[in-house]
C-alpha cells in the first residue's frame, strides 16, 4: 500500500506551512495533497508559497496534488476553483463544483469530502476521469471492501482515511468566529490560534470534537493501525495521513514501517501515545459501532 498525505486542514503560519512540505520531501510518502480545503480566506497567506512546495515535492519524487475547497459558495471561491487546473498538476476535488469547472477530459482525484458511497457513483466519477478516490471517512469496512473491488474493476485507486482528526462537517458558519463573538466576514483569523483545532468538550468535560473555523473535526485522532491488514486484504491501494503539529514527518516514516511489516500492529498507536500521553485515538468508523470507538481500548492500549 502507498501513503498519501492529505491537505492540511488547519491554518498554520506561512513558515510552518512551508516547513511541512520541505519535511515531507524527506519522508517515504508517495503523494501529497496541498492547497486550501477549509476556508478561502486563509489562502492568500500562503498562496505564493505553493509553487515552491510543488517543486520541492516533485524533485523528491512525490506526486503533488492540488485540493479544491470543501464548500464553494462565493464568486471569489468559484473563480479560485475554476483556476485550479491552471497550476498544471492533478486536482483533488473535495466539492463537485471543482468537477464542474475542470477542463473536459482532465484526470483528477476525489477527496474524502465528496460523497462516494456506492459503486454507481464511483463508476460515474471514473467515467468522468477520476483515477483515485479517498473514501468518506464514515464508511464501515463492508462498503469499503465492496468499493475497493469496484475500484479495481474500474481502474480507480481506492484510498482510506488512516491517520488524523476526522473531518466530520463543514458549514457556512465559522465557529471559531462565533466563539469570539464575531462573524465569518470579520473573523480576524481566530482559527490561527489552534493549529490542530480547538477542543470541544461535552458537559461532563469529555473530549469530543475539534473546532476548525467552518469545519468540525473529531477530537480523537483516527488511527487505522489495527486495520492495516484488513485494508490491504480488501484491496485498498493507499492510506491517507492528515497533517498535524509535532513530528508529522516522523509519523509518516512510522506508517511506512508499519506497511512494510517492520513494526507490529499497535506500534503506531503506541508511538502516538509516547509523543502525546493524553491523545485519544479512534477507528470506530471502520470497525466499531460508532466513529469515536477505539479497538485498541479492547486490546488494552
| 114-133 positions binding another protein, by CB under 8 A | 115, 117-125
Classify strands 90-93 and 63-67 as parallel, antiparallel or unpaired: parallel
| Among the listed residues 136, 137, 129, the one whose alpha carbon sits nearest the alpha carbon of residue 156 | 129
Closer residue to another protein in complex, CB, 168/270: 168
Residue 292's SS3 state is coil
Q: Which of 61, 88, 104, 290 binds another protein (CB under 8 A)?
A: 290
In this structure, are residues 210 and 199 in contact, taking their beta carbons and an 8 Å threshold? yes
Decide if residue 178 touches another protein (CB under 8 A): yes
Q: Which of 6, 35, 136, 243 binds another protein (CB under 8 A)?
A: 136
Decide if residue 257 touches another protein (CB under 8 A): no
Grid cell locating 271: 508511538
Decide if residue 76 touches another protein (CB under 8 A): no
4-63 residues near another protein, rule: CB under 8 A: none
Query: Between vectors from CA 176 to CA 173 and to CA 182, what angle results, nearest 5°?
Result: 75
Stretch that binds another protein, among 110-118, 231-239, 254-262, 273-281 (CB under 8 A): 110-118
φ, ψ for residue 160, nearest 5 deg: -130, 140
Decide if residue 238 touches another protein (CB under 8 A): no
CA distances to 61, 67, 184, 219 from 43, rounded to whole Å, are: 25, 12, 15, 24
Q: Is 134 annotated as a binding residue?
A: no
Helix axes 14-24, 248-259, angle to 10 degrees: 30
Stretch that binds another protein, among 10-18, 75-83, 152-160, 260-268 (CB under 8 A): 75-83
Decide if residue 103 touches another protein (CB under 8 A): no
Stretch that binds another protein, among 9-17, 45-53, 209-217, 238-246 (CB under 8 A): 209-217
Closer residue to another protein in complex, CB, 153/247: 153
In this structure, are residues 238 and 162 in contact, taking their beta carbons and an 8 Å threshold? no
Stretch that binds another protein, among 31-39, 48-56, 144-152, 254-262 (CB under 8 A): 144-152
d(CA 83, CA 128): 19
Binding site per annotation, positions for [4Fe-4S] cluster: 39, 174, 187, 191
Amino acid at each position: 500500500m502507498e501513503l498519501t498525505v492529505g491537505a492540511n486542514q488547519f491554518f498554520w503560519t506561512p513558515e510552518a506551512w512551508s516547513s511541512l512540505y520541505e519535511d515531507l520531501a524527506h519522508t517515504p510518502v508517495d503523494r501529497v495533497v496541498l492547497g486550501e480545503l477549509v476556508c478561502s480566506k486563509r489562502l492568500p497567506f500562503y498562496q505564493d508559497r505553493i509553487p515552491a512546495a510543488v517543486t520541492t515535492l516533485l524533485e523528491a519524487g512525490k506526486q503533488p496534488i492540488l485540493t479544491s475547497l470543501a464548500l464553494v459558495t462565493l464568486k471569489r471561491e468559484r473563480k479560485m476553483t475554476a483556476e485550479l487546473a491552471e497550476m498544471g498538476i492533478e486536482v483533488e476535488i473535495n466539492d463537485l463544483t471543482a468537477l464542474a469547472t475542470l477542463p473536459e477530459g482532465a484526470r483528477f482525484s476525489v477527496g474524502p469530502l465528496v460523497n462516494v458511497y456506492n459503486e454507481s457513483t464511483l463508476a460515474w466519477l471514473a467515467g468522468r476521469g477520476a483515477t483515485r478516490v479517498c473514501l468518506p471517512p464514515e464508511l464501515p469496512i463492508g462498503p469499503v471492501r465492496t468499493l475497493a473491488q469496484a475500484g479495481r474493476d474500474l481502474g480507480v485507486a481506492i484510498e482510506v482515511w488512516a491517520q488524523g482528526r476526522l473531518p466530520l462537517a463543514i458549514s457556512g458558519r465559522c465557529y471559531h468566529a462565533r466563539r469570539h463573538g464575531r462573524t465569518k466576514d470579520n473573523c480576524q483569523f481566530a482559527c490561527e490560534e489552534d493549529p490542530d483545532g480547538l477542543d470541544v468538550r461535552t458537559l461532563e468535560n469529555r473530549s469530543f470534537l475539534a473546532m476548525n473555523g467552518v469545519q468540525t473535526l473529531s477530537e480523537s485522532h483516527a488511527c487505522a493501525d489495527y486495520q492495516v491488514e484488513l485494508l490491504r486484504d480488501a484491496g485498498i491501494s493507499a492510506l491517507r495521513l492528515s497533517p498535524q503539529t509535532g513530528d508529522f514527518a516522523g509519523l509518516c516514516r512510522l506508517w511506512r514501517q508499519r506497511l512494510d511489516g517492520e513494526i507490529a500492529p499497535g506500534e503506531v498507536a503506541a508511538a502516538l501515545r509516547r509523543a502525546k500521553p493524553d491523545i485519544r485515538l479512534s477507528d470506530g468508523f471502520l470497525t466499531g459501532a460508532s466513529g469515536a470507538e477505539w479497538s485498541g481500548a479492547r486490546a488494552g492500549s
